[in-house]
Amino acid sequence: MTSTRYIELLAPARNAQTARAAIDHGADAVYIGAARYGARAAAGNTADDIAEVVGYARPFGVKVYVTLNTLLTDAELDEAEALARELHGRGVDAFIVQDERLAERIKDLPLHSSTQMDNRTADDVRRRREEGCLQTVLARELTLEEIRRIHEAVPEMPLEVFVHGAVCVSYSGRCYASEVCYGRSANRGECAQFCRMPYTLEDADGNTLAAGHLLSMKDMKRSDDLERLLDAGVTSLKIEGRLKDEAYVKNVTAWYRQRLDAIFRRRSEYRRSSLGRVELSFTPDVERTFQRGYTDYFLNGRQKGMACLLTPKSMGPKVGTVKSLRGGSIVVASVASFSNGDGLCYDAGGRLAGFRVNRADGNRLYPHVMPEGLREGTALYRNQDMAMERALEGRTAVRKVALKWTLEEEGDGFTLTAEREDGRCVREHFPREKQPARSDQSGSIAEILSRLGDTPYECAGVRCSGAWFIPKSILTEWRRRTIEKF
């Protein structure tokens, strides 16, 4: 008999607001940077901020991981340890670490080994297990078969892999170029984005062999490979992006949530690791928020087309080609819909150029100023999608956990039981003199208990006897007190 494996969709959070967005849109876990010692120095949060995230995550069974994944100096170890212990006391579920000296100091706390520990062999993963790590973030560069072999060799270690987002040109993100050239260490959270700059490659005689953004990688996208990754032994699927905005986190998290849920409906041996049903007000589409073009990276072996030589910026999806230029307008051969304010870009002879759509009349676009170098037949890409931006504004998801009620006569009063979708129950006994009802009260009782308002819960059923009269105000108070127990 195949045992159940709980699968975790792990989303990034720049701050408490993006963490809540990730949770609302279906994340099973979020990872967030503390005030210091994270690999994204610009994405730091106070202990109070992180405690707020923990409180929001708990009703949904969502875990919160904190990144303490930089290399530390001798003088920083005491402070980093104190920070970890404080955050653990605030309810953080685990810490993602790179520095082995810090890991040794806090080995009594729940630890995950960062991908920057260069976890690419079974021996590496076994060593992390022996050191006390509870989960290992594998190197991004591994193939599917290499991941499978690691799982088979060390089946007791939960494996985490990146499935979406930016890719560093350096192996496992252990890049020293930024430190050497600019005194800003990527391993200290201050990467200067050395790989996103333009370069010219010359031979020994000074002849130009290539020019452009030669080290700039496309973004990773493995949404088509999720089931194969699960079958290879992966249990945590990670989205990169602790510097990304809230709209990106919403869209990408919801995209992967939908695809994982589709797998779970077919494969009963896999289950999500958190609780709740998500309702969206938009259709997720990872083509329509920030992306540099996509690659599955090394998952299926080394391939061509992993780099985006034209630009390190978001080009977005191709939306058509220029059909004609006339009367201060651009007619586009396309089936896409355009909106006023859209940003479109194109390859202008080896450099990225673009324009803002001042007015869209079907597939005839009126820019504020006609762009230079645009020709008939030029491919157009949309890197700012106003329709999608509007769709992602405000509250775009509601997540609710199913709750069943049972109200029973018992002893000197009544017992109210709330059972959550994971089977966890809260039982509260309320002494009260029993007053027979003149008519069946089942409908009224069910209506009161179903009013869960702004709580994280939704009523999935009520079982009760309607033989007793209980005032609505009393039932409301019983419901409130029972819910608070969760």
| Residue 139, pLDDT above cutoff 80 | yes
In the prediction, which pLDDT does 486 show?
A: 83
Cα 157 from Cα 117, distance rounded (Å): 15
Contacts of 458 (CB under 8 A, 6+ apart): 277, 400, 401, 402, 403, 452
Q: Count CA within 13 A, CB hemisphere, residue 275.
A: 19
- pLDDT tens readout for residues 366-418: 998 999 889 999 999 999 999 999 999 999 999 999 999 999 999 999 999 99
Any idea what the Cα angle at residue 398 is, between residues 394 and 404, rounded to 5°?
A: 160
CA distance 285 to 35: 32
* Structure confidence at residue 327 as a pLDDT band (50, 70, 90): confident
Q: In Å, how far from its chain's centre is CA 195? A: 24
C-alpha 412 chain-centroid distance: 49
| Angstrom distance (rounded) from CA 429 to CA 482 | 10
State the DSSP string of 126-179: HHHHHTT-SEEE--TT--HHHHHHHHHHSTTS-EEEEEEE---SSGGG---HHH
Question: Are the C-beta atoms of 112 and 64 separated by less than 8 Å?
Answer: no
Q: What is the mean pLDDT of the chain?
A: 95
CA-based Rg of the chain, rounded to a whole angstrom? 27
> Using an 8 Å Cβ cutoff, are 459 and 450 in contact?
yes
Q: How many CA atoms lie within 13 A of 305 on its CB side?
A: 6
pLDDT of residue 176: 85
Reported as a single tens digit per residue, the pLDDT across 407-428 is 999 999 999 999 999 999 999 9
How far is C-alpha 219 from the chain's CA centre? 15
Q: Is the pLDDT of residue 1 over 60?
A: no
Higher pLDDT, 17 or 189: 17
Distance, CA of 358 to CA of 345 (rounded, Å): 14
Q: Is 81 helix (H, G, I), strand (E, B) or coil?
A: helix
Q: Which two tokens stand for residue 236?
A: 């945590």
* H-run or E-run covering 401: strand 397-410
How high is the pLDDT of residue 2? 65
Residue 462 has pLDDT above 90, yes or no: yes
**What's the N-to-C CA distance of the chain in angstroms?**
33
Q: Residues 265-307: pLDDT tens digits?
A: 999 999 999 999 999 999 999 999 999 999 999 999 988 899 9
How many C-beta atoms surround the C-beta of residue 73 within 10 A?
Answer: 10
Residue 181 has pLDDT above 90, yes or no: no
State the pLDDT confidence band at 152, using cuts at 50, 70 and 90: very high
Residue 329 has φ and ψ, to the nearest 5°, of -135, 165
CA 475 vs CA 216, 246, 402: distances in Å: 61, 39, 19
Task: State the Cα–Cα distance between residues 14 and 43, nearest whole angstrom.
Answer: 5
pLDDT tens digits along 66-105: 999 999 999 999 999 999 999 999 999 999 999 999 999 9
Three-state SS annotation for 299-346: CCCCCCCCECCCCCCCCCCEEEEEEEEECCEEEEECCCCCCCCCEEEE
Distance set, CA 142 to CA 98, 163, 297 (Å): 19, 12, 9
Averaged pLDDT, 342-352: 94
Q: For 171-194, what is the mean pLDDT? A: 83
Cα separation of 388 and 319, whole Å? Answer: 14
Q: What pLDDT shows up at residue 69? A: 92
Domains and CATH numbers, the chain: 5-280 (3.20.20.70), 315-391 (2.40.10.170), 400-484 (no CATH)
List C-alpha distances in Å: 295 to 135, 193, 444, 457: 26, 19, 56, 39
